[in-house]
Amino acid sequence: MRKVEIEDLYKFKFVSAPAWSPDGKRAVFTLSQANEKTNGYDSDLWLWDDSEVRRLTASQDVKSALWLDESRLLFASGREKKAGAGASAAAGASAAAGAAGSLAGSPGSASVTPGSASGGAEPSTSFYCLDLRGGEAQKYMELPLMVFDIKKLAGENFAVLAAYDMAEKRDPAYEIFEEFPFWFDGKGFTDRRRSRLYLMSSDGEKPEPLTAEDEQVTGFAVCKDRIVYTSQRYDKKLSPYSSVTLYEDGKKKELVPGGGWVVSWVGFLGEQPIAAMGDGKKHGTAEIPGVWKLTEKGPQRLFEKDEVPGGGVAGDSSFGAGAKTAFDGEAFYYATVCDMKPVLRKFENGELSTLYEADGSIDAVAVKNGRVLASCIKEDRLPELYEIKDGEAVRLTGFNDELFGELNISMPEPLSVINDGWQINGCVIKPADFKEGVSYPAILEIHGGPFGAYGVSYYHEMQMLAARGYFVFYCNPRGGDGRGSDFSELRGKLGTIDYSDIMAFTDKVLEAYPMIDRERLSVTGGSYGGYMTNWIIGQTERFAAAVSCRSISNWLAQNLYTDVGLGYGEEIVQGDVWNGPEGVWAQSPLKFADRVKTPTLFIHSDRDYRCYMGEGLQMYTALQKFGVDTRFCLFHGESHGLSRGGKPRNRVTRLKEIAAWMDKYLKK
């Protein structure tokens, strides 16, 4: 057995996007792997049935597929394009997508990577058909659109979500902003760019727009020839609220008017349109959505459950598309988080039941005729394909068996503490070479969100640190997912009850593991975890080092340039520059930067528009001013998701920066 190495990332294989055939006899899924040479990810389709697992494509650019019938698969590919053009297309199309969130990987759909260059070139996406009865994949159709998602309607007609640019002409030398947000994380500049629904047949006719040119479609589902979709409108500023519209028999009917609901996703339960949404009356735009039946008389709650339908645990060891909700006739399935465990639930005939609950994560779900397939991380494994039955997850693939057979994995050990009347749950990971009687340094990890949750599964960053001789510990403080709305309520309280929970858990870890050296503690986290890292070093000197990733330091500035600042950002701190600025400043780590003594590394990406690099730079400059040892690592061309889906070499470099900083201050 050997220790985990940072570069093992290049060897990981990720299963994602399972999709059953219409007859339920077999399923297709995607297998992805980082490619160090190209600094990208190779993805291809694989087939599973009860007797075999075999590869279907080898072009290394197929993200997912949809079934045309029991034997034919449709997928997007840039196999006719030059390698550079495909990458350029993805970037250009992403810029137009804005806030769109498709139900990629859901039944009858396929998320795609656009297949032609942006800029001066005409947009297009190439689709291919593969007949499993024999033969090579053949060109099926070429759409004059940058396609993000496609779903099959009756016959061989399709509903297509694609980019639309309201500007007649753009000069690449500059950008004009007339709206907010003017950019979106992972998408680029979005001003007057929309994601629009089209109707399309395979006979080559021009796609017909279904939605208005200024309408931002954020999700859609199909049932035969019926389409239900959710969208938002701009009045210079993007509304945080969504409408839901049903299209049938050539007519559109608004089921949920815009202005009162935050909609997460839409679907069909049988032929009944449903949606996950919240009215924000108690918890604002951060309200945990319920599942509602959309009727002529208005929305009706399907069931009462204070949890996110389609939620999941945090991690850095998954890759690829896939939906955490699935529909099978009159049955509805969804993954969620219950405390630190992923849970799979089923709603049918008015009853909600639990099909599966265990350590790990559920990354994608597909259901047909009652059979459940899922892409899961379980125990010390990376995502593999599982069938969930009789309350158990039965593993169907073993792409990572050889690698993990040689790795020494230190599994998380659960630990809890009672703080302020709440039980705060977390885990401790021992060093891979742990020996009794030896003193060890330790690192506190803090998840993003704050509406997020850690679980008990393989986490590459943590295992890398454990392999280097560190204890690693983490918890789920108040403000996070998996414990209901009252637990997650953190508006106007950032840096108070959550900080108290984290420090109480830290004290519990030191009590339970006396071999940890209290003088060699460090703290790190990303996004909200980066915010809390910045906050902690301004409140206490107990940590000998810190690594703050994609962080927030000054809410007064953050909410004026982040993509969600004028909605979610202002609400979570309960104020802005003109209304309650004292309270907003009181929740800003920059206010306490003059107290910081902890050597701190900042890691940011210059295309992170969720937590813009200006936030890290303000804190970095302040620490320079006050003589604190600090370092700033800025990644070019990366977004907020660097640690989870960034370019492979950048992900490796990021981990090396973290390890080197920890070693510098924590190793004797």
pLDDT in tens, 447-462: 999 999 999 999 999 9
pLDDT value at residue 106 = 41
Distance CA 334, CA 431 (A): 35
pLDDT value at residue 112 = 53
CB 493 within 8 A of CB 515: no
Distance CA 84, CA 484 (A): 46
Distance CA 178, CA 19 (A): 41
- Whether 579 has a pLDDT exceeding 50, the answer reads yes
Q: What is the mean pLDDT of the chain?
A: 92
Tell me the torsion sign for CA atoms 141, 143, 148, 153: negative
pLDDT value at residue 356 = 97
**CATH dotted code for 417-666:** 3.40.50.1820
> Could you give the residue range(s) of every CATH 3.40.50.1820 domain in the chain?
417-666
pLDDT value at residue 286 = 72
Among 102-106, 116-120, 314-318, 479-483, whose mean pLDDT is lowest?
102-106
302-346 confidence digits (pLDDT tens): 999 999 999 999 999 999 988 999 999 999 999 999 999 999 999
8-32 confidence digits (pLDDT tens): 999 999 999 999 999 999 999 999 9
Q: Which of 657, 665, 603, 663 is nearest to 628 (CA)?
A: 665
CB 638 within 8 A of CB 650: yes
More confident residue, 53 or 102: 53
pLDDT value at residue 396 = 97
Question: Alpha-carbon Rg of the chain, whole angstroms?
Answer: 24
pLDDT value at residue 284 = 79
Which tokens belong to 418?
């009672």
More confident residue, 101 or 109: 109
Q: Measuring CA to CA, how many Å separate 660 from each of 49, 133, 462?
A: 46, 53, 14
Element (H, E) at 234: strand 226-235
pLDDT interval class at 2 (50, 70, 90): very high
Residue 82 CB-density burial (10 A; 0-12 exposed, 13-18 middle, 19+ buried)? exposed
- What DSSP line would sit under 173-219, residue for residue? T-----SBSSEETTTEE-TTEEEEEEEEETT-PPPEE-S-TTEEEEE
pLDDT value at residue 237 = 93
Phi-psi category of residue 395: left, alpha or beta, with phi > 0 → left and psi -120 to 50 → alpha? beta
- Whether 297 has a pLDDT exceeding 60, the answer reads yes
- Whether 96 has a pLDDT exceeding 50, the answer reads no
Instruction: Give percent of the chain above pLDDT 70.
Output: 93
pLDDT interval class at 122 (50, 70, 90): confident
Q: What is the 3-state secondary structure (H, E, C) of 242-309?
A: CEEEEEECCEEEEEECCCCCEEEEEEEECCEEEEEEECCCCCHHHCCCEEEEEECCEEEECCCCCCCC
**Bridge pairing between strands 325-328 and 331-338:** antiparallel
pLDDT value at residue 204 = 62
pLDDT value at residue 109 = 56
pLDDT value at residue 394 = 95
pLDDT interval class at 86 (50, 70, 90): very low
pLDDT interval class at 287 (50, 70, 90): confident
- Whether 300 has a pLDDT exceeding 80, the answer reads yes
Instruction: Give percent of the chain above pLDDT 90.
Output: 86
602-637 confidence digits (pLDDT tens): 999 999 999 999 999 999 999 999 999 999 999 999
pLDDT value at residue 203 = 73
Which tokens belong to 240?
């945080």
Among 279-288, 491-500, 514-523, 634-643, whose mean pLDDT is lowest?
279-288
- Whether 224 has a pLDDT exceeding 80, the answer reads yes
Q: How many CB atoms lie within 10 A of CB 134?
A: 6
More confident residue, 116 or 551: 551
pLDDT value at residue 205 = 74
383-411 confidence digits (pLDDT tens): 999 999 999 999 999 999 999 999 999 99
pLDDT value at residue 492 = 96
Classified as helix, coil or strand, 71 is coil
pLDDT value at residue 633 = 98
pLDDT value at residue 259 = 82
Place of tokens 């210059």: 606
